[in-house]
């Protein structure tokens, strides 16, 4: 399928798509972080009347479309802000009202031009993009928007960062939060117009928020988030384009689907924050607790050894889990296995001692400081003994005045 990359129209289309992926990806980070996803969607829908007016005044002209759309976007942003500040309507409702109204005006106007004026304006091209219709003019315009947007973000990075993170602080420092907001709206309008050919007004919001949301799962540092989001945006455009070609379908939606694929991959696989890694941590933790419960069980049982059978009948977790944890304890030299019995090794005994110490100190703590009945302290201590580190235990011991015995009279061992 690579042969399409040798045809001129395809190269133009691909170049435009990748530029859109990049600028949407980077700008989108600020849209997502400012909780403005809906506003991004709104602005993209609201540019349609701008195209209508531009066509009526100047005919089919890329530049006129661009200016008209950007102005329509800004008008929408201004009306929305005005409602939010002066009318008692919820913010998102205000956005919904204005963008659907402007979108409707645009649809009505373009349909009218098409049907009664005989103009060759296909509404579908504006809604879903028409990437194969990318002209050289479009390409140059996209290039300008890309450079302008990237330069603006680089130069205004500090202002964007602080006004997004803590607008109140920015204001207290003398930065005009409003100016930054409207400038961002201007950039957003530019980017939306540049995306018109590739993804269309309905799906541009996907290119704005999906790569950004993905990048936010992958890095805790804003600069890296911007870079990653830009790269994901470009890859989504590239693979989406190829996917659309392979299955003979529309490129815009294909790009959106690829971006969504990246998003779910990140949600599942992201290191530390991904669902899988979190599940893994949870599993490790539950195995650690089970291992400590086994050690405590053997330690508390009379005699040095415990039969494997009694472990299985006394600790109620699924057998496969118990087997796996027993095996890992033996491998770690905490337990020693003979024919049918299991005993604690020397390191196992130390571990058991420290767990007992944690358990009894916590029982004492509950009784002495919270006045809980000695009959009731055991259960809570059974849970807490797994989570008390040495530092905290030392603090508890100091607070209690180095007690010798727990509320039941059993001695509290020293740390080994």
Partner 1 sequence: MNEQKVIDVKSLSVSFGNKRVLTNINLDIFQGNSYGVIGPNGAGKSTLFKAILNLIDYDMGSITVWDQDIENVRKKIAYVPQKDEVDWNFPATVKDIVLMGRYPFKKILERMNAEDHKMAEEAMIQLDILDLKDRQIGKLSGGQQQRVFLARALAQKADLYFLDEPFVGVDIATEERIIKTINQLADEGKTLLVVHHDLSTVSDYFDKVILLNQRLIAYGNTEDAFTDKNISFAYGGQLTILNKLGVTKK
**Which one of residues 87, 151, 173, 405 is an interface residue with partner 1 (CB under 8 A)?**
173
Told to check if 36 binds partner 1 by CB under 8 A, we report no
Q: Please provide the DSSP assignment of 325-356 as one string.
A: HHHHHHHTTSEEE-SSEEEE-HHHHHHHHHHH
User: Going residue by residue from 205 to 244, which x/- string records binding to partner 1, judged by CB under 8 A?
Assistant: -----------x--xxxx-xx-------------------
Told to check if 166 binds partner 1 by CB under 8 A, we report yes
| Nearest distance from C-beta of residue 183 to partner 1, angstroms | 12
Question: What's the gap between Cα 151 and its chain centre?
Answer: 26
Residues 177 and 159 sit within 8 Å (Cβ to Cβ): no
Told to check if 161 binds partner 1 by CB under 8 A, we report yes
Told to check if 275 binds partner 1 by CB under 8 A, we report no
CA distance 6 to 9: 9
**Which one of residues 33, 38, 372, 400 is an interface residue with partner 1 (CB under 8 A)?**
33
What is the footprint of partner 1 within residues 61-120 (CB under 8 A)? Answer: none
Residues 192 and 47 sit within 8 Å (Cβ to Cβ): yes
Told to check if 172 binds partner 1 by CB under 8 A, we report yes
**Which one of residues 59, 174, 303, 318 is an interface residue with partner 1 (CB under 8 A)?**
174
What is the footprint of partner 1 within residues 244-273 (CB under 8 A)? Answer: none
State which residue, 266 or 412, has the beta carbon closest to partner 1. 266
CA distance 123 to 298: 75
Residues 162 and 116 sit within 8 Å (Cβ to Cβ): no
Characterize the bridge pairing of strands 335-337 and 341-344: antiparallel
Told to check if 180 binds partner 1 by CB under 8 A, we report no
**Which one of residues 171, 299, 305, 382 is an interface residue with partner 1 (CB under 8 A)?**
171
Residues 374 and 407 sit within 8 Å (Cβ to Cβ): yes
CA distance 138 to 62: 7
| Nearest distance from C-beta of residue 225 to partner 1, angstroms | 5
The 8-class DSSP code of residue 4 comes to G
Site size toward partner 1, by CB under 8 A? 24
| Nearest distance from C-beta of residue 104 to partner 1, angstroms | 34
DSSP H helix total and E strand total for the chain? 19, 3
Stretch that binds partner 1, among 48-56, 163-171, 292-300, 337-345 (CB under 8 A): 163-171
CA distance 148 to 157: 14
CA distance 378 to 261: 49
State which residue, 33 or 243, has the beta carbon closest to partner 1. 33
Burial of residue 227 (number of CB atoms within 10 Å: 0-12, 13-18, 19+): middle
CA distance 201 to 412: 70
**Which one of residues 5, 87, 147, 169 is an interface residue with partner 1 (CB under 8 A)?**
169
CA distance 164 to 149: 17
State which residue, 58 or 157, has the beta carbon closest to partner 1. 157
| Nearest distance from C-beta of residue 182 to partner 1, angstroms | 16
Structure token pair of residue 370 = 């919270």
State which residue, 174 or 318, has the beta carbon closest to partner 1. 174
**Which one of residues 71, 107, 150, 156 is an interface residue with partner 1 (CB under 8 A)?**
156
Stretch that binds partner 1, among 17-25, 110-118, 140-148, 155-163 (CB under 8 A): 155-163
| Nearest distance from C-beta of residue 24 to partner 1, angstroms | 18
| Nearest distance from C-beta of residue 221 to partner 1, angstroms | 6
CA distance 253 to 240: 8
Told to check if 155 binds partner 1 by CB under 8 A, we report yes
- Residues in contact with partner 1 by CB under 8 A are 33, 155-156, 158-159, 161-162, 164-166, 168-169, 171-175, 216, 219-222, 224-225
């Amino acid at each position: 399928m690579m042969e399409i990359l040798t045809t001129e129209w395809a190269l133009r289309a691909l170049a435009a798509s990748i530029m859109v992926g990049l600028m949407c990806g980077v700008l989108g980070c600020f849209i997502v972080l400012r909780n403005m996803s809906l506003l991004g969607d709104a602005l993209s829908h609201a540019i349609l009347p701008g195209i209508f007016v531009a066509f009526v005044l100047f005919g089919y002209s890329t530049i006129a479309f661009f200016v008209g759309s950007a102005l329509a976007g800004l008008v929408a942003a201004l009306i929305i802000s005005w409602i939010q500040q002066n009318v008692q309507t919820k913010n998102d409702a205000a956005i919904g009202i204005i963008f659907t109204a402007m979108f409707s005006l645009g649809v009505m106007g373009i349909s009218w031009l098409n049907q009664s004026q005989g103009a060759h304006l296909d509404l579908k091209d504006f809604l879903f993009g028409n990437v194969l219709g990318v002209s050289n003019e479009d390409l140059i315009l996209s290039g300008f928007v890309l450079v302008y947007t990237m330069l603006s973000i680089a130069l205004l990075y500090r202002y964007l960062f602080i006004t997004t993170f803590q607008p109140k602080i920015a204001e207290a420092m003398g930065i005009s939060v409003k100016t930054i907001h409207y400038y961002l709206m201007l950039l957003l309008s530019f980017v939306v117009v540049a995306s018109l050919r590739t993804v269309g007004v309905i799906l541009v919001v996907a290119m704005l928020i999906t790569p950004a949301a993905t990048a936010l799962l992958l890095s805790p540092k804003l600069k890296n988030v911007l870079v990653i989001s830009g790269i994901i945006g470009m890859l989504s455009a590239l693979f989406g384009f190829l996917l659309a070609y392979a299955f003979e379908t529309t490129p815009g939606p294909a790009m959106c689907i690829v971006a969504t694929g990246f998003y779910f991959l990140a949600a599942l696989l992201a290191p530390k924050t991904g669902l899988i890694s979190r599940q893994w941590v949870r599993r490790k933790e539950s195995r650690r607790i089970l291992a400590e419960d086994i050690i405590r069980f053997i330690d508390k049982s009379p005699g040095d050894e415990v039969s494997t059978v009694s472990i299985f009948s006394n600790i109620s977790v699924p057998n496969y889990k118990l087997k796996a944890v027993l095996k890992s304890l033996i491998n770690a030299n905490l337990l020693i296995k003979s024919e049918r019995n299991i005993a604690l090794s020397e390191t196992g005994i130390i571990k058991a001692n420290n767990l007992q110490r944690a358990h009894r100190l916590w029982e004492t703590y509950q009784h002495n400081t919270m006045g809980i009945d000695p009959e009731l302290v055991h259960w809570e201590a059974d849970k807490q003994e797994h989570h008390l580190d040495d530092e905290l235990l030392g603090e508890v011991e100091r607070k209690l005045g180095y007690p010798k015995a727990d509320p039941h009279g059993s001695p509290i061992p020293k740390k080994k």
